[in-house]
């Protein structure tokens, strides 16, 4: 969620503020983190990266990581200058990585920390949606140009209106302008903040709330906090993900929601310095399989983080087989959809190359849609995700009839004061999604408001189905046409123009790094000469017997 179910939430905030002068030795929280240290969370930003093995695919051929950041309002130098940042970062990492996400086969690595010590970089007020939008705009404008990352989280020390203690964009992890969330430091223990951040990151990753109608299985008793994705939190925060969360994550990744999560974090940028046993291969290490009692890698010595005698590589890498490097050309990551590209082992590294995909603007679905961030942004696909597999996009007359109205069922956005913006005629396909067919109710949420509009056009009757649903105070409405969707003649639903750059003879496609991805039989970088195919990013593709190169 995230709402606070504690009746005295605002009072709780006042208690926290009243203890700002506490020293590390005066007020102790869990894991030896002081109350003062906990307060410092509200004035800092940090980045982490996660690695995920997709449960519904091969456990060895889909490795994903993401990077996120957190920020907050400034406190005085005196309030945080003596904080033990190493203890704080270890605590956050221990919970986000080990306690929360690792049971989902997700890895977290803290790679940076930023403190807003002079002033707030954005206006932070009582409106969670306004604060979220300002923060995401700041991230796009200021943070992304200077630091590569996949997700940003704001931690604030004040409070929002009502009981909301966090808000995030749903299924937005790889979005340039929507991947992030805002979080209120609302509990006495830093564990509550860590749980709220994990909750909002869950929304970014495609997880929905654990509502009663979903019948989720949670291994944590309610008196111990329940599970992380429950709509509200009490004094004891959720510390586990439920069966619904695991399923939501898998489905989101299978639908292309994790196209940016394959790149490996640079070990030298991990916060806290190198440490044998943290599952990241850092300077001076040949492998890292975790602590001695959790290591199950026969190729790695957990005590020294060195390879065992005779081993070429660690089994942690998919391009390592029985402690030996796989030959170049072995497919280590199959394409996930028609807008993705395969990656191959290089023969020199145990790891699969970082993920690349078709560059934005390449046509998909037989030319009816465009690729955007590795996903075919199709109206039909979006309707099926909302209404089920038998749903399709509504005819154009539905978009023009409904989205010109400027209400919650049909619009092209919303102003800060809550007023809905009617779509101009040229942009009706870039507003709220209009579908037909499918299930009686949307798949997302339980409080959906459904608008069925009957439209007559050319002596034919059409039934248009739109929806407005409230997934929680911490989730923005996802029933708008997705970015990158073809929404008119030569138009797509993004703020900047798509540019097709790679149009050289013999080149089949161009990838997200704007490099040529050659057909089998041609060699990168420009595909002018014979070779094994692939690109400078993907590793060499091995030519199957009996095939011939494809010429554009």
Binding site members = 199, 203, 209
Known binding residues for Zn(2+): 199, 203, 209
Residue 176: Cβ-neighbour burial (10 angstroms; 0-12, 13-18, 19+): middle
- The closest alpha carbon to 46, from 141, 112, 97, 142, belongs to 112
3-state class (DSSP) for residue 200: helix
Return d(Cα 314, Cα 288) in angstroms, integer.
8
Return d(Cα 276, Cα 531) in angstroms, integer.
41
Strand segments (E) across 54-91: 63-64, 67-71
Which stretches within 44-174 are classed as H helix? 77-80, 85-93, 128-138
Say if CB 501 and CB 495 are below 8 A apart: no
∠ CA 338-342-346, rounded to 5°: 170
> Which of 200, 230, 285, 343 is flagged as catalytic?
200
- The closest alpha carbon to 399, from 407, 410, 408, belongs to 410
The sheet carrying 435-436 orders its strands as 392-393, 435-436, 460-468, 449-457
Return d(Cα 11, Cα 9) in angstroms, integer.
5
> Between β-strands 67-71 and 63-64, what pairing exists: parallel, antiparallel or unpaired?
unpaired
Tokens encoding 393: 């996009």
Q: Maximum Cα–Cα distance for the chain, whole Å?
A: 79
Q: Is residue 200 annotated as a catalytic residue, yes or no?
A: yes
Other CB atoms within 10 A of residue 449 CB: 13
Tokens encoding 515: 């490099």
Instruction: Write the DSSP symbol of residue 125.
Output: -
3-state class (DSSP) for residue 105: coil
∠ CA 351-101-276, rounded to 5°: 55
Which residues are tagged catalytic?
200
């Amino acid at each position: 969620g995230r709402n606070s179910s504690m009746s005295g939430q605002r009072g709780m905030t006042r208690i926290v503020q009243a203890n700002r002068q506490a020293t590390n030795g005066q007020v102790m929280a869990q894991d030896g983190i002081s109350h003062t240290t906990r307060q410092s969370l509200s004035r800092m930003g940090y980045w982490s990266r996660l690695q995920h093995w997709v449960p519904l695919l091969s456990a060895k051929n889909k490795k994903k990581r993401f990077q996120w950041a957190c920020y907050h309002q400034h406190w005085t130098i005196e309030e945080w200058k003596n904080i033990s940042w190493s203890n704080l970062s270890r605590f956050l990492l221990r919970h986000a990585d080990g306690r929360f996400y690792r049971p989902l086969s997700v890895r977290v690595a803290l790679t940076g920390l930023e403190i807003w010590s002079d002033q707030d970089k954005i206006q932070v007020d009582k409106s969670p949606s306004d604060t979220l939008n300002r923060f995401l705009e700041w991230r796009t404008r200021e943070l992304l140009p200077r630091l590569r990352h996949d997700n940003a989280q704001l931690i604030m020390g004040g409070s929002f209106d009502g009981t909301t203690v966090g808000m995030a964009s749903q299924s937005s992890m790889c979005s340039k302008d929507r991947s992030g969330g805002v979080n209120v430091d609302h509990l006495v223990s830093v564990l509550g903040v860590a749980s709220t951040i994990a909750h909002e990151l869950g929304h970014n990753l495609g997880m929905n709330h654990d509502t009663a109608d979903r019948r989720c299985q949670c291994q944590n008793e309610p008196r111990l906090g329940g599970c992380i994705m429950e709509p509200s939190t009490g004094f004891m925060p959720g510390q586990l993900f439920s069966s619904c969360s695991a399923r939501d994550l898998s489905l989101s990744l299978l639908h292309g929601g994790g196209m940016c999560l394959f790149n490996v974090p640079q070990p030298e940028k991990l916060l806290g310095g190198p440490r044998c046993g943290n599952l990241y291969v850092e300077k001076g290490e040949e492998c890292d399989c975790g602590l001695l009692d959790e290591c199950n890698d026969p190729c790695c010595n957990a005590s020294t983080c060195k390879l065992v005698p005779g081993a070429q590589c660690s089994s942690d890498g998919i391009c390592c087989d029985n402690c030996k490097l796989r030959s170049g050309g072995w497919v280590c990551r199959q394409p996930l959809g028609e807008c993705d590209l395969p990656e191959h082992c290089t023969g020199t590294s145990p790891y699969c190359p970082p993920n690349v995909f078709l560059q934005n603007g390449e046509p998909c679905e037989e030319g009816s849609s465009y690729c955007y961030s590795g996903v075919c942004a199709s109206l039909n696909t979006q309707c099926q995700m909302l209404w089920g597999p038998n749903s399709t996009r509504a005819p154009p007359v539905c978009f023009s009839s409904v989205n010109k109205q400027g209400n919650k069922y049909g619009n092209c956005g919303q102003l800060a004061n809550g007023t809905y913006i009617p779509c101009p005629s040229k942009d009706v396909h870039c507003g709220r999604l209009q579908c037909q067919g499918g299930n009686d109710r949307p798949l997302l949420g339980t409080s959906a408001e459904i608008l069925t509009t009957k439209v007559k056009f050319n002596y034919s009757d059409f039934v248009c189905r739109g929806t407005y649903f409230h997934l929680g105070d911490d989730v923005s409405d996802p029933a708008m046409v997705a970015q990158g969707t073809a929404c008119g003649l030569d138009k797509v639903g993004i703020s900047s123009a798509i540019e097709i750059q790679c149009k050289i003879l013999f080149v089949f496609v161009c990838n997200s790094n704007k490099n040529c991805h050659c057909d089998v039989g041609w060699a990168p970088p420009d595909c002018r000469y014979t070779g094994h195919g692939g690109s400078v990013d993907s590793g060499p593709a091995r030519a199957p017997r009996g095939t011939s190169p494809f010429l554009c």
